[in-house]
Amino acid sequence: MKTKTLIALAATLTFTAACTTTDPFTGQQQTSRTAIGAGAGALAGAGLGVLAGGDDRRNALIGAGIGALAGGAVGNYMDRQQAELAAQLQGTGVSVTRVGNNIILNMPSNVTFAVDQDQVIPAFFATLDSVALVLNRYNQTLIDVYGHTDSTGDESYNLGLSQRRAQSVANYLTGRGVNGQRMVVTGFGETRPVADNATEAGRAQNRRVEIQLVPLS
């Protein structure tokens, strides 16, 4: 119980951390209100995920011989991983956001999927190859893959679509050698918007797949 309390406290403190985002086209770092929303939304789900299943993943990976990070090594490890992801993903349309010691990759649906489809488009394969390359190099992280939609259409349909899209991304990464034991895949449908669904620009921001990387510590 003490361990779970500490994990929950860490997740709560993460909400208050500064959010920095690497612009997906220029490579410049900036603080973004949208990024803060995306990070908070992802972490809200992750907080429950850590309490419910995080220990199982950690135990499985540590049991498989993947060492856990501790102390100052955590921040340094995530710094290096963030830098490599930002370099690999510059110009792809995927943003790299840091929230505390977690990293969030935001993949807009317009560069990842065809309209109303759940299979990754071939033009995005090279981007996911770059993501897989870094994830395989930095294997001391847990991977949460989250699917999100806008509020257009039926809520239950959107939930299923978000789950299938997140699973497609996860399947592609495992096909490129990323250890599936590190992953949890969740579809949130339209429940975690980061922008106003009343505008087309807002809806476009809400249609996304996020990959959250959490240090194995």
Fold held by 2-215: 60s Ribosomal Protein L30; Chain: A; (3.30.1330)
Alpha-carbon distance 181 to 61, whole Å?
Answer: 7
- pTM reported for the whole predicted model: 0.77
Strands 141-148 and 95-99: unpaired
Token pair of 67 as six digits: 């060492």
Whole-number pLDDT of residue 172? 98
Whole-number pLDDT of residue 52? 38
* Sequence ranges of the domains in the chain: 2-215
Give the mean pLDDT per block of 10 residues along the chain (217 residues): 42 47 56 45 40 71 92 96 98 97 97 95 98 98 98 97 98 98 97 97 97 96
C-alpha of 198 from chain center: 25
Both ends of the chain: CA-CA distance in Å? 17
Alpha-carbon distance 48 to 140, whole Å?
Answer: 21
